[in-house]
Each structure stands twice: as C-alpha cells, then as structure tokens.
Amino acid sequence: MNKINSLFANSKDQKLLSLYFCAGCPTLEGTADVILTMQSRGIAMIEVGIPFSDPLADGPVIQSAATQALKNGMTLTKLFAQLKAIKGQVEIPLVLMGYLNPILHYGIEAFCQSCVDAGVSGAIIPDLPFDDYLNLVKPAADKYDLRIIMLITPETSEERIRFIEDHTDGFIYMVSSASVTGTQKSFDNQKQEYFRHINAMNLRNPRMIGFGISNAQTLKAAQDNATGAIIGSKFVTLLNESKNADEALDKLFDALSK
C-alpha cells in the first residue's frame, strides 16, 4: 500500500503533523539529515520542496529558501539521488512539492518513476491545471502508484471540490486562506467557517490544513478540523536560523505549545 494511504488508514483518530522544507537549503547536502531527524522526532509526513525560480504560491520565506537552494546547486536530479540514498531508512511518507516547469523539463513519466525509485509516495504541484492532471499526469502517476495531491482554498467551489474528490486519492491539501504561504497568529471566523463547511461535506479523502500555522492556536484549529496540519514557513525560518534540524524542531515544538 502507498505510504500516504497507509498513514491515514492507521491514523484516523490522530492529529497528524506534517512539515515542509526546501531541499538544498540551508545546505546542499543537508536533505537527508533533515528528513531523518524529522522522522526520529515523530513527524508523520514530510513535504520536500523542489526549488524553483518563480514559486508563485509561496511567500517570502519559502521564496528565499528556494533561491538559496538554487544558489547552492540543488537540482531535481540531485534531489532524487539524495533521497534514493536514504530510501531504506525512511519509513514515513515523503511528498515532493514543486512547480510544473521543472517536472515537465524532467519528463512526467521519468519524474513519477524517479519518485518511486527514491521512495517518494506523492507529489503536490500547485500550478498543475486539473485538465493536465487528468490527461497527462494522472496516467503516469497511477502507473507508478504515486499520489498527486490537489489543493483547495476558500474560493474553491463545492462542485470543484467534489470533482477533485472523485479523481484523487491520498489526501486533499486544504489551504487555510486564499494567499501565499506564511505564518498567521490566528484563524479568523471566516476561515473557521470555511473549515466547518468542508467538514460538513463528509469527503472520502482525509484532509490536511496548511498555510499560516505557527502557534498553538492555529495548530489546534487545523487539527480540530482535519486529519492534521502542515507547517512550512515557520519551520523553514527556524531551520535557516539554526542550520540544525534538531534545534529547529525544538524551537518549533516550543512555539506550537504557546
């Protein structure tokens, strides 16, 4: 069974925590250490960012990390080699998050095959049009048992959400607000109503809420309204400051308790 499906099948009553970091930042060769440290500290699933020069859905923190990673020399080919080297040690799901341009350059089928060879269970491609997903990406992903995770926002219509639900597997990435990535102190009533509305739809796919989670209040709101939470910008900031994954996780867990 795909590791993503296995995680959610065995964690229905748990409040999962998934973290994002950008491969190649703060150091080119640090990807493996960050992943293995996260795993040892109880992180349920890891999103590994593929650095790209024009990350439209990301705020300044992740944009800066991507720029640094590219300066460090990170490429998709190098990332797959790093992941393949630790494949036997990684037990939790790895999800690559990246934009369509580098993936098209690499080749869609080659990308899906390399994901499986490197122990990757899924991919998030924020700028992938849904028609292209159905016609170009899904056939290759299905062939290699790779989950393509789609995003929904407060602006996504119920009809569209149902359509996504019918044509995807793994989980749905529920973006907390119609904005770029970044931290927030709290989720306002409008966002809370959005969470409640999606809950009332009784979707088959589990959901993870991301964008803006950085403290106890936002974490609780996400975990109360979905299977779990995804944290990116806050962890990326702490990792870049400390240059040490263990120390960054200590600081993150401290922030999430307040």
DSSP for 53-65? Answer: S--TT--HHHHHH
- Does pLDDT of 141 surpass 80? yes
Token digits for 51? 């650095």
* For residue 7, pLDDT beyond 90: yes
Q: Which long-range contacts (CB under 8 A, 24 or more apart) does 63-67 make?
A: 64/240, 65/21, 65/22, 65/25, 65/236, 65/240, 66/22, 66/25
| Contact predicate 50/21, CB 8 Å | no
pLDDT tens track for 188-208: 788 888 999 999 999 999 999
**From 29, 33, 58, 155, the catalytic residue:** 58
The 8-class DSSP code of residue 212 comes to B
Residue 57 confidence class, pLDDT cut points 50, 70, 90: low
Selected catalytic residue, list 47, 132, 155, 193: 47
| Predicted pLDDT of residue 14 | 73
Are residues 61 and 236 in contact, defined by beta-carbon separation less than 8 angstroms? yes
Q: Where are the alpha helices (DSSP H) in 10-136?
A: 31-40, 60-72, 76-85, 100-106, 108-117, 130-132
Give catalytic status of residue 47 as yes or no: yes
Which uninterrupted H or E stretch holds 240? helix 233-242
The reported pLDDT for the residue numbered 184 is 52
* Average pLDDT rounded to a whole number, residues 53-74: 87
User: What are 215-258's pLDDT values in tens digits?
Assistant: 999 999 888 999 999 999 999 999 999 999 999 999 999 999 98
Among this protein's residues, is 132 annotated catalytic? no
54 HSE (CA, 13 A, CB side): 4
What is the average pLDDT score of the chain?
92
Spatial CB neighbours of 100, under 8 Å, sequence gap ≥ 6 = 125, 127, 128, 132
- Res 181 pLDDT > 70: no
Residue 35 has pLDDT above 50, yes or no: yes
